[in-house]
Each structure stands twice: as structure tokens, then as C-alpha cells.
Chain A
Amino acid sequence: QKEVEQDPGPLSVPEGAIVSLNCTYSNSAFQYFMWYRQYSRKGPELLMYTYSSGNKEDGRFTAQVDKSSKYISLFIRDSQPSDSATYLCAMIKGGATNKLIFGTGTLLAVQP
């Protein structure tokens, strides 16, 4: 079993839709949770960074963490064609390390 599971998609939605992206994990040692966006043939860029259960909002993006269920989500409101990319969840275990464990990524296409 992989430490981090993510549905690879692809996920296709119409412009303006609300998008829900999810990851589950198996190791309760994970303490920090991130969502990255990666455009084709580019490096990942950090979208959201959270370290506690609950919601964190930034513009059209909301990250949700449920440590009791080992489940994290990223919601995108009013999705735009420019949001079309691969979204990767990533996690770090506690302690003096920043070794990221990535999910497989979900390919999102927002249709105009």
C-alpha cells in the first residue's frame, strides 16, 4: 500500500464548477500537508500549506485536513480554464525533515 493515495483522474469539469480533489494517507506521522499545481513540463508550484485539521482558504482555493480520517481535500471554486493542470498532494512527517511524499497527482481539465 502506498503511503499517499490520490485518484489520478483525469477529471474534466465545465468552467465555473466547484472542483474537489482528494488524498488519503496511511501513516499518522504525517503532520504537514501541501497541495501543488504542476503545469505540463513545468516544476510544481505550492498552492496551499497546512499543518492542522480544519480548513484554510486562499482566494478560490480551500484546503481541508481531517487527521482523524487521514484525508485531505482541495476545493477550487469558480474554476477557470487556467486551472487546468495536474494537482499533487504532498505530506511531510514531523521532526527535522522536509522530505516530501507525493501523491500520484490528479489531472484536471476545465472546459471553457
Chain B
Amino acid sequence: GAVVSQHPSWVICKSGTSVKIECRSLDFQATTMFWYRQFPKQSLMLMATSNEGSKATYEQGVEKDKFLINHASLTLSTLTVTSAHPEDSSFYICSAGEEPGGEQYFGPGTRLTVT
């Protein structure tokens, strides 16, 4: 149980375009979802926390107008990277939790390459 999926697993886009990444909890309802980014050989850095039906809470230094997060249902959150630039190329990972303070389950990640 407790499976989280991400789609796509790998995406290449041109500079200036937008790309959407989906995160789904397959067998549980996620009240909270988290979005992380991870650069090569570095740790996961939390970008934002999203709760179903409310606005996401962004970490300091993360541009909310560039990284749009929508948590429309208890099983789906999306991250849209708008006007992507090569420096946005990274590994984006989501996680989902059933309750505050509880365990988080991680998705397999999405590798974004902006050319």
C-alpha cells in the first residue's frame, strides 16, 4: 500500500515553455502533499507544501508565480513550472501524507531538462 506516482517520469522542454508534473496517491487520500527539488549529488530541498482545497505554502526563496501548485483533490497535486529556463532543470519529487505529523510516501520523481 501507500503508493505515490508521478507523471511524467522524464520531460524535456524548450526554454520559455511551461511544463506540468502530476503527483497522485494511488491507494490513500493525501491531505498534504509536498514538492521537492533535488540537484545532482545534493539533498532534497522542500519547495512547497500543499493541502487539498487551499493555497500552497511556499518555502523561502521559491517563486510562487513560477512554480504553480494545485491540489485539487485528495489524490492529485500538480506542479507547473512556468516559463522554464535551463536553471530549472532538476529532479522534482513529490511526497504525500495521510495526516499531519504522519509518514510521508515519496513518488519516483520527474526529471526535467530545459533546453
The answer to whether A and B assemble together is yes
Instruction: Give the dominant DSSP class at B's interface.
Output: strand
Size bin of chain B's contact surface: 20 to 34
Total A residues in contact with B, Cβ cutoff 8 Å: 24
Residues of B at the A interface (CB closer than 8 Å) are 4, 6, 32, 34, 41-46, 49, 91, 93, 95, 97, 100-109, 111
**Which residues from B are CB-within-8-Å of A99?**
34, 46, 49
Q: Are B101 and A42 in contact (CB under 8 A)?
A: no
Q: Which residue of A lies closest to B108 (CB)?
A: A43
Q: Are B46 and A100 in contact (CB under 8 A)?
A: yes
Q: Are A96 and B101 in contact (CB under 8 A)?
A: yes
Q: Which residue of A lies closest to B9 (CB)?
A: A41
In chain A, residues 13-55, which have Cβ atoms closer than 8 Å to a Cβ of chain B? Answer: 32, 36, 41-46, 49
List 27 contacting pairs A-B, 8 Å CB cutoff, sorted by A: A6-B43, A8-B41, A32-B101, A41-B91, A41-B109, A43-B95, A43-B109, A44-B44, A45-B106, A46-B106, A49-B103, A88-B43, A92-B101, A95-B101, A96-B100, A98-B32, A98-B100, A98-B101, A99-B46, A100-B34, A100-B44, A100-B95, A100-B104, A102-B43, A102-B45, A105-B42, A105-B43
